[in-house]
Amino acid sequence: MSWASPVCISLLFLALAGCSHTATRATGVQEEFQICREDDRVRHQDGGEIQAARVAGLLDAAVARVESVHGLPFLRPPQVHVCVTMTCFQRLVPGTGYSAAVLPGDLLVLSPSLFERESDRLPGILTHELSHLHLGQRLGHYTPWLPVWFHEGLATHVAKGGGAEFASDLQARVAWEEGRQVDFSRLDVPGRRHRAGEFGLNIHEFYRQSWRFVAYLEQRDPAAFAAMLAAIQADTDITISVADAYNAGLERLEQDFIQAGR
């Protein structure tokens, strides 16, 4: 079914449960968390031994997935911090509705909701955030010249849909048909970021459309995709990275994506 095909669907109200890239400084964080017995890359708030052990059991596979898609190892071992209380998480991550965040200082923080009502999302969200962390280690958190759709599309692609669970392909296509669609050729600049609302999308529709475009780029030409990612991670402008790898610009690739019925 084409992204531009007319379809009918009943949309349910979906609570925001995405990820955050925040400028909050994680001052004193290490002193509040204990090292996980199973894996010293994981730290937990007092009383979070069971939650931390679950993360430890998922971490190797998640790291391997990120490094495989990104084509490069982490520069430094990731540090995952498990909050047991919302007070802990909200102090570190301002705002509401987030399930996880990457903080300056290479810190990945997980909300207690991922061990309660959203426990099935933990593997995907962990991998999604590790992708952000991996990119941030090389380019900084959060790279203003790299479009938000690329940050989120890549992370969701690496996580095999993690982060976009609350919007189906059908919902994303409906939004596209209604004219609520990510403009993949529109570039971000410092102080002017094009997030979901810029395109009339909720965050999950935005993640889903961005993911499907990134997935299309890999499926179209895996070697070009790898070359593009390598260039981007070497701090080459995205327009140059894409053009050199695919011999086509983002606008042309977007049109091909639509015509391919993705």
HEC secondary structure over 232-256: HHCCCCHHHHHHHHHCCCHHHHHHH
d(CA 73, CA 235): 16
Strand partners, 108: 80, 102
pLDDT per position as a tens digit, 179-231: 999 999 998 887 888 999 999 999 999 999 999 999 999 999 999 999 999 99
pLDDT per position as a tens digit, 130-181: 999 999 999 998 778 899 999 999 999 999 999 999 999 999 999 999 999 9
Judge whether residue 119 has pLDDT over 50.
Answer: yes
Strand partners, 35: 43
Instruction: Count Cβ atoms within 10 A of the Cβ of residue 72 and give its class: 0-12 exposed, 13-18 middle, 19 or more buried.
Output: middle
- How much is the pTM? 0.89
Judge whether residue 20 has pLDDT over 80.
Answer: no
Question: Which parts of 142-188 fold into alpha helices (H)?
Answer: 148-158, 169-177
Query: To 10 degrees, what angle do helices 222-233 and 49-70 make?
Result: 110
Per-residue pLDDT at 11: 24
Higher pLDDT: 105 or 43? It is: 43
Domains in the chain, CATH or no CATH each: 19-139 (3.30.2010.30), 148-259 (no CATH)
pLDDT per position as a tens digit, 52-88: 999 999 999 999 999 999 999 999 999 999 999 999 9
- Phi and psi dihedrals of 148, rounded to 5? -55, -40
Judge whether residue 31 has pLDDT over 80.
Answer: no
Instruction: Count Cβ atoms within 10 A of the Cβ of residue 131 and give its class: 0-12 exposed, 13-18 middle, 19 or more buried.
Output: buried
Per-residue pLDDT at 240: 97
Mean pLDDT score, 27-48:
88
Judge whether residue 15 has pLDDT over 50.
Answer: no
